[in-house]
Copies of this chain bind each other. A is one copy, B any other.
Amino acid sequence: MKVVIIGGVAGGATAAARLRRLNEQAEIVVIERTGYVSYANCGLPYYIGETIQDEGKLTLQTPESFRARFDIDVRVRQEAVRIDRAAKTVAIRRLDDGGLYEESYDYLILSPGAKAVVPSLPGIDDARIDTLRTVEDTFAIKKRADELVEAGKTNAVVIGGGFIGLEMAENLAHRGFSVTLLQRGNHVMPTLDYDMACEVHAYLRSRGIDLRLGFDVVGFAPDDERDEVRVLGGNGESIPASLAILAIGVAPETHLAEEAGLELGIRKSIVVDAQMRTSDPSIFAVGDAVQVKHFVSDDDALISLAGPANKQGRVAADAICGRNRSFAAPQGSSVLKVFDMTIAATGLSETAAQRAGLACDKAFTSSPSHATYYPGARGMSVKTLFDPESGRILGAQIVGFEGVDKRIDVFATAIRAHMTAADLEDLDLAYAPPYSSAKDPVNMAGFVIENLRCGLVKQHHWHDVDALTAQGAQLLDVRTAKEYAEGHIDGSVNIPLDDLRERLGELDAGRPVFVNCHSGLRSYVACRMLAGRGFDCSNLAGGWRLYATVAKDAAFDARPTHPCGAPVA
């Protein structure tokens, strides 16, 4: 049996190693266009930022080490240029000498990955504009960054606030660059909803990133005298950059598959079955180039993440060796570090759930990373999406610091198990003061959702508040007088929770009461007290904290694309 694998990173490399472990006799050939295989692609930005200082750390595996350990024929700087499905051959070009040759296969695995999207804009070919995908890209950007730092030319522009964009913003800032981050829509991080992203925006600004939301890049103008490129905005602005990183997204790299006539899906991704088999039973495909079913929505999706790619590589190897494992649909679990902040998500966002046509309600909770009496606890903001009928958890987003990655993985596991909010209440998670609270943040999300679903409390949202204020609704703020003095919702009256029973007479029992506190806990207690005394009341989800974060974000950069208090999808 002879297997040719096109692409030697993540899914391709995993498939190769697994194949060998399953079949000692197979001939395994890996064709890799770059000079490196199985490299640490998720670590590339950190090499530029010098968090990873040893170049060797990026390239732990080499063609030689692969051959020695797995008896795999790895050919770097060679590019597959054509697949002949009938003849079962691949035409391959040696990039060093241009030579072309053919390689036959019994099975072919495509692991071409995704390429950085480069829009056709005036001036886009300027040498000072880079994308980051390969080790070669990394070394080139690192070299230029080193020279610029040396020369004291430290204006950097990052275009796009997704994973790579934020990582590059952080890493360039570490190197001493003044970083301007340009974002087309109203928020960074596509895995987050707008409301959760607002906290990230505030944090990025606090760390000195010049974040420009709603910024449409329309072109680039070279300024060779200064060795800069000016990034031109649709609003007439022009931002100088000694180094510009284009990170607006990736697209499946599937021209080979397309030319071979394989069935393609959304954005020309490769359609595969549960064993990663394409429409040609001798050809498998894995990684960023394939279309998957989203675990939660069951919709077709593209998920460009290393975890699924690795698992797909295993499944493809298993299938080729006659082991009938299925690739389990991914759910988009992701986590990102940016400076000290951790941003994580799993399952569907509110936006994605709406797009998928799923009934979806949301809860906002704010929890300490661990028991507050033990030093070092920091708050995390949790948004949990759930099916209002069944209580099934559809997704979660968490923004915070320590312990965010833990809770997203618990949510991810719960979602995988089709758990409901009631199940989250029951989770028996490990508690000690340095690690959590007796009621873990995930338990808390379950409690809050179940209180809603059981009718113990009603909630309204940050995006309802301005209308309530305009209507002259009865708004009650149960924080302390000091907290209230530092900022509050227009038109709200302040009665601290601990005084509420005595001062009930100040409320109009004939009208609904819309209650808020800082994060939603005290106001919940107030709502229960008021409900027990006959009031109709509602709790502001996420409290003043969330409302103020969104309002501040809207005010920071007020323009038509994101009016105060209302997100524009």
The verdict on A333 contacting B430 (CB below 8 Å), with A306-B438, A406-B405 known, is yes
Could you tell me which residues of chain A, from 401 to 440, have a CB within 8 Å of some CB in chain B?
405-406, 408-410, 412-414, 416-417, 419, 423, 425-436, 438-440
Chain B residues within 8 Å of A417, by CB: 413-414, 416-417, 419, 423
The verdict on A21 contacting B373 (CB below 8 Å), with A335-B431, A435-B335 known, is no
Chain B residues within 8 Å of A305, by CB: 431
Please give the count of copies of this chain that the complex contains. Answer: 2
The verdict on A346 contacting B430 (CB below 8 Å), with A60-B373, A417-B417 known, is yes
With an 8 Å Cβ cutoff, the count of chain A residues facing the other chain is 91
Q: Is A46 an interface residue (CB 8 A)?
A: yes
Smallest Cβ distance from A513 to chain B, in angstroms? 14
Q: Is A525 an interface residue (CB 8 A)?
A: yes
Chain B residues within 8 Å of A409, by CB: 406, 409-410, 429-430, 440
The verdict on A331 contacting B428 (CB below 8 Å), with A416-B423, A533-B24 known, is yes
Q: Which of A76-84, A126-134, A307-315 contacts B (4 or more CB under 8 A)?
A: A307-315
Could you tell me the distance between the alpha carbons of A428 and B528 in the complex, rounded to whole angstroms?
Answer: 38
Q: Is A2 an interface residue (CB 8 A)?
A: no
Chain B residues within 8 Å of A264, by CB: none
Question: Residues 439-464 of chain A: 1 if any B CB is under 8 Å from the residue's CB, otherwise 0?
Answer: 11001000100000010100000000
Contact (Cβ within 8 A) A410 B408? no
Kindly list 12 other residue pairs between chains A and B, CB separation below 8 angstroms, not including A342-B435, A417-B423: A40-B433, A52-B374, A307-B438, A311-B426, A311-B443, A332-B428, A333-B428, A335-B431, A409-B429, A409-B440, A410-B410, A416-B417
Smallest Cβ distance from A196 to chain B, in angstroms? 15
Could you tell me the distance between the alpha carbons of A334 and B405 in the complex, rounded to whole angstroms?
Answer: 19
Could you tell me which residues of chain A, from 325 to 349, have a CB within 8 Å of some CB in chain B?
328, 330-337, 342, 344-346
Contact (Cβ within 8 A) B371 A308? no
Smallest Cβ distance from A391 to chain B, in angstroms? 13
Q: Is A387 an interface residue (CB 8 A)?
A: no
Could you tell me the distance between the alpha carbons of A68 and B500 in the complex, rounded to whole angstroms?
Answer: 9
